[in-house]
A and B are shown apart, each in its own frame.
Chain A
Amino acid sequence: MMLSLAILALLSVAAPWVCRYAGPARGVVLAAFPLGIGAWFASKIPAVADGGAIVETFAWLPELGLEMTFRLDGLGLLFALLVTLIGAGVLLYAGSYMQGHHQIGRFFSYLIGFMTSMLGLVLADNLVLLFIFWELTSITSYLLIGFNHDKKESRSGALQALMVTGLGGLAMLAGLVVLAFAAGDLAGVPGGVWNMSELPEGLSGHAHYPWIVALVLAGCLTKSAQFPFHFWLPSAMAAPSPVSAYLHSSTMVKAGVYLIARLHPNLATGTAEGLWEGLLIGFGATTMFVGAYLATRQTLYKRLLAYSTVSSLGVMVMLIGMGHPDAAAAYILAHAMFKGCLFLVAGIVDHEAGEKDVAEIGKLFQAMPATGLAALLAGISMAGVPLAPLAGFVAKEKMIKAGLDAGPLTALLTALIIAAGSFTVFIAIMTGFKPFFGKAQREPKKHAHEAPWPMLAAPVILAVLGIVYALVPALFATPVVTAAGEAIKGGPFEAALRLDAFYYYEISLALGLSLLATLIGVGIYFGRGLWVKATSPFAKLDGVVGPAKMYDYAMLGLTKGSWAQTRVLQNGSLQVYIKMTLVAILGMFAWAIWRTGSLPSVGTNFERTGLLEWVLIISIAVSAIVATRLGSRLATVAVLGVIGYAVAVVFALYGGPDAAMTQFAVETLIVVIFVLVVYHLPRFAVYSGLAVRVMDLLLAATFGGVMACLVLAAGSQELFAPISAYFNEAAMPETPDGQSAYGRNLVNIILVDFRSVDTLGELVVLGIAAIGVYTLMKLRDDHEGVPVAEREGDEDQSEEGDA
Chain B
Amino acid sequence: MDWLYFLELFLSGLTKGSIYALIALGYTMVYGIIQLINFAHGEVYMIGAFTGLIVASILTLLGLNTLSILLLASMAAIIYSAAYGFTIEKIAYKPLRQAPRLSPLISAIGMSIFLQNYVMIAQTSDFMPFPSLIPDFEFMEPYAHIIGSPELVIILTTMVVMIFLTVLIKFTRIGKAMRATAQDKGMAMLVGVNIDRVISMTFIIGTALAAVGGILTACHVGQINFYIGFLAGLKAFTAAVLGGIGSIPGAVLGGLVLGLTESFGTGYISSDYEDVFAFTLLILILIFRPAGILGRSTTQKV
Partners in one complex: no
Q: Which residues of B contact A (CB under 8 A)?
A: none
